[in-house]
Amino acid sequence: MNDDELDQLFARARQVRPETSRAEFAFETRLMAKLRAEQRNSLGLWGWRLAPWFAAGVVTLGLFSWGAVAEFASPMPDSMADWILVQMLVVS
Amino acid sequence: MTPPGDDADEDALVRAAQRGDGDAFAALVRRHKSRVFAIAARFARGVHELEDLAQDIFIRVFQKLDGFRGDAPFEHWVSRLAVRRCYDHLRRTKFTRDEAPLEAVEFAVRDESVEREAEARSAHEVVSRAMAELPADMRLVLTLLELEDRSVREVASLTGWSEVNVKTRGSRARARLKEILEAQRDE
């Protein structure tokens, strides 16, 4: 096959154009529905992705508040207690 | 503020869509869907694949809309995304001769005489079956240059390849297609 024959074949084939009007019918409606669904899915997906971080945050916060409460409830540090005892002995 | 309607100017629709206005984006889709379908139909193997491909293209348009700065006309920007998405589709999909896209997607013939129409359809079928055996880049470049009758500059702009690259790929693709057609003729 030479170039001219190929050009003629293409020239004839070019006369045929895709006819897509039926496929295009209400396409934007279907597309917008898919876009909305994808946005919902991506929000849900982000929720799942963030869940471990949220759980870790809750645990950290719990530990922190437990530590703070424990420290608040505990008697004064030993060094301070010793110091007060020494002062009382000196005074007496 | 009321959403811009279908008759609003393109820049206003694009700006509104960039702000997240769904109605404006739907109006843009209505405006440009024929162009996108015409490109995608050349590479889809059936109406379902055509619908999926067109949806993929417009979802990509939606995702990249913020990056559109208006340096080129919006329709050109959309066509570029469509061509690149179709190229990705070609690279991912293994076509065989029996899966040439003409069976399931409807094609219309410009020439109305019965004899010329039959000739055109036959030529289109021969070309489509032979092109189904080409690698993705060759298929893309021949479709755009020979079937869509676009210039080398247009193809370069749509694909992102240099003009020299388009010419080189085009001539290699023609040579390969001739071999395939000769082999098919001998079968």
Which chain B residue has the Cα nearest residue A38? Answer: B59
* Nearest CB to A28; choose among B26, B108, B123: B26
Identify all chain A residues contacting B25, using CB atoms and an 8 Å cutoff. Answer: 32
Smallest CA–CA distance, residue B172 to chain A, in Å, is 13
Is residue B176 a contact partner of residue B138, using CB atoms and an 8 Å limit?
yes
CB contact under 8 A, A28 and B29: yes
Is residue B147 a contact partner of residue A57, using CB atoms and an 8 Å limit?
no
Which chain A residue has the Cα nearest residue B40? Answer: A18
Contacts of B91 (CB under 8 A, 6+ apart): B136
pTM score of the predicted model: 0.75
Contacts of B10 (CB under 8 A, 6+ apart): B28, B31, B74
Retrieve residue B140's tokens.
């893309």
Mean pLDDT for each consecutive 10-residue tract of chain A (92 residues)? Answer: 92 89 93 89 73 84 78 66 81 77
Alpha carbon dihedral B53, B55, B57, B58, in 10-degree steps, equals 170
Q: Strand ranges (DSSP E) for B31-118? A: 107-109
Tens of pLDDT, residue by residue over B11-53, are 999 999 999 999 999 999 999 999 999 999 999 988 899 999 9
Kindly indicate whether the ipTM for this predicted assembly is greater than 0.95, answering yes or no.
no
Report the 10 Å Cβ neighbour count for B165. Answer: 16
